[in-house]
Structure 1
């Protein structure tokens, strides 16, 4: 059986990263993670960060880089992450006007092709990280499926976030097989409770949204293995894909644990099934 290397998306522990970036990466390594996925680098020099990761034995496998940041200077931004040593750059989110069938969508497609071509100069693959809004139906299909139809697997890989796939109404174990040939990195994320339609305040996208809607079981992100997701089943599906890395992400803490404690719970659980 294949044992996948596991990275932590550092957004999960951003509160600690803000205080001690390198020290937090070391703690993540000491927990047993094989790699990290960046969500910002706090102004660090690329080569110095690459050297630090090498010195402690952790792989800087990927980075979430905002579409706007990439477009600010495609060659310079891609080169920066190439110097860190990432193998993947994932666009983490799209503003509404950039989404499939919206007013800037055609421009987005052209720009993604440019970004992807620049990434390939360094052996980097470009991917897209979904939320649940991509499961809106446009032109008779999910917006996410349209995006992946309008771009080739060579131009854009998936970074399927399996929590948001579930919240969007699909079975993660089944849906990932649709992209078995373009799923090199997969986000393992767990949750409990019921989505209330005001999700994005939970991840800081809409600060004005009210997340206090009363439900019997309010939505919350959970450490992997502590929520609703059926990860043994999901892992069996992942084995049928071209997946190379699992990336753990937890957008907000829960269960009275700190973000680092949540990350530790996740890797402890994965070690029981990923072997």
Structure 2
């Protein structure tokens, strides 16, 4: 099987990064990751972050940038991540007031298209990183995620499909990646375990988001890549076949091991598959 370069979302080891950003980035490189995906700048300027990355000798492939930050000062925000060296900027999450089914959602679509156009003009590609709430049905019967990708031209918005949330929503991750062949340059590898027959409780609490109302409590935990329910070989095959350029490991929370140990296990698993 052909292989793609492997990055890691720094959010996976966010507490380490907050304490020692450079040391954490060095450990990520030593583990064998080819790049990082940022989620915040840890109190540093764009120039300072770029300096650390250059000193360690690893690039920031992409960054998760909050929607409100992107709409607040679009030009400066994009310029900062260009300074860091990012090829992609991803809208990572929508808070409840901006989600499908709210009066604001049509405006969100317009704003994401505007941001995508600004990114394109500066040579950066805008991505959208899904959770499960984008699989709510629109009035025409299609998922809100598909509605977004149909409403916004592909040259202004590409996908960053998160395979955990695709499966939690009841869809097949590898099939969904193939559905967006040619439009999925970055695929998020996220594994998990959920107790059979129960709703996954408090999933959003587990990713560090306050204020979310959990469903019925049930056993759910994020796990290193290859240690949960996901059929990773089929996902990786789909990523290659669909023209992806990168896969990104993300584990929102670790159970029974440190976050650094978890991303190490993920990288070792992928290495065993020849990646």
Shorter chain as denominator, the TM-score bin is over 0.9
> 2:263 matched to which residue of 1?
263
Post-superposition CA distance 1:70-109 (Å, at most 9, x none): 1111111111111001000000111233233421122212
Post-superposition CA distance 1:221-261 (Å, at most 9, x none): 0000111101011111111112111000000002x110000
Q: Quote the Cα distance in structure 1 between the aligned partners of 2:180 and 2:152.
A: 13
> 2:145 matched to which residue of 1?
144
Q: Quote the Cα distance in structure 2 between the aligned partners of 1:15 and 1:153.
A: 35
Post-superposition CA distance 1:177-220 (Å, at most 9, x none): 1101110000000001234253211112234646892x4xx110
TM-score by length of 2: 0.93
* Aligned pairs (5 A) from 1:101-116: 101-116=101-116
Gaps of 5+ in 1: none
1:173 paired to 2:174: yes
> 1:205 matched to which residue of 2?
209
TM-score by length of 1: 0.93
Q: Quote the Cα distance in structure 2 between the aligned partners of 1:47 and 1:274.
A: 35
| Alpha-carbon distance, 1:142 to partner | 1.0
* Aligned pairs (5 A) from 1:53-202: 53-139=53-139, 140-194=141-195, 195-202=199-206
Q: CA 1:51 to 1:2, structure 2 compared with 1: closer, same or farther past 3 Å? A: farther
CA contact (8 A) 2:194 2:200 kept: no
Q: CA 1:97 to 1:207, structure 2 compared with 1: closer, same or farther past 3 Å? A: closer
> 2:2 matched to which residue of 1?
2
Q: CA RMSD in A?
A: 1.6
| Alpha-carbon distance, 1:143 to partner | 1.2
3-state DSSP of counterpart to 2:68:
helix
Q: CA 1:220 to 1:150, structure 2 compared with 1: closer, same or farther past 3 Å? A: same
Q: Quote the Cα distance in structure 2 between the aligned partners of 1:212 and 1:108.
A: 30
3-state DSSP of counterpart to 1:261:
helix
3-state DSSP of counterpart to 1:141:
coil
3-state DSSP of counterpart to 1:192:
strand
CA contact (8 A) 1:100 1:146 kept: no
Q: CA 1:97 to 1:34, structure 2 compared with 1: closer, same or farther past 3 Å? A: same
Q: CA 1:40 to 1:143, structure 2 compared with 1: closer, same or farther past 3 Å? A: same
Gaps of 5+ in 2: none
CA contact (8 A) 1:93 1:129 kept: yes
CA contact (8 A) 2:5 2:247 kept: yes
